[in-house]
Amino acid sequence: MTASQPPTPAEELRGVGLRVTAARVALLETVRAGDHLGVEAIASGVRDRVGHISLQAVYEALHALAAAGLIRRIEPPGSPARFEGRVGDNHHHLVCRSCGVVADVDCAVGEAPCLTASDARGFSIDEAEVIYWGLCPDCSTASTA
């Protein structure tokens, strides 16, 4: 690996102390190629790459990758968990109340954690999670038609 090339998924897994398996590499690639995917879509993508994998193995690998900081789990209230490959920048999300589509949005203002709590209650805050709710362009157009 040269300094100008990003690490491979296998190198990233090794770098966080995880064992490199074809399923983990496929899972990491599937999440990063997707757009806020649910577990079923991720499992399907992994199966397309490596063949059979149980849903339990997908859940376990997702947990390990999220705990290691290689992927991010988001769970908007009332929605199933979704996973994304965009990590380390404390961005937020837009969620459509009608169709459930999720989109990334950069921090509103300032530096991480983007927001200052009115009362931190002694916490040392290092991240803020913001979800903006509304209607996506397609649903907004459909509701006015």
Q: Residue 113: is the preceding peptide bond cis (ω within 30°)?
A: yes
DSSP state of 5: S
CB distance 27 to 12 below 8 Å? no
Examine the pLDDT at 1 and tell me if it is beyond 80: no
pLDDT at 15: 95
Query: What's the CATH fold of domain 89-144?
Result: Dna Ligase; domain 1 (3.30.1490)
pLDDT at 45: 95
> Rounded to the nearest 5 degrees, what angle is found at the Cα of 48, between the Cα atoms of 76 and 44?
30
Q: Would you say the CATH fold of 89-144 matches that of 9-74?
A: no
Q: What does pTM read for this prediction?
A: 0.80
pLDDT at 54: 95
Alpha carbon distance 94, 107 (integer Å): 12
3-state DSSP call for residue 134?
A: strand
DSSP string, 70-116: SSEEE--TTS--EEES--SS--EEEEETTT--EEEE--SSSSTT-S-
Condensed to tens digits (0 to 9), the pLDDT of residues 96-134 reads 988 888 999 887 665 555 667 778 889 888 777 788 899
CB distance 110 to 122 below 8 Å? no
Condensed to tens digits (0 to 9), the pLDDT of residues 43-94 reads 999 999 999 999 999 999 999 999 999 999 998 888 889 999 999 887 888 9
**Would you kindly state where each structural domain of the chain is located, as residue ranges?**
9-74, 89-144
CATH of domain 9-74: 1.10.10.10
pLDDT at 132: 87
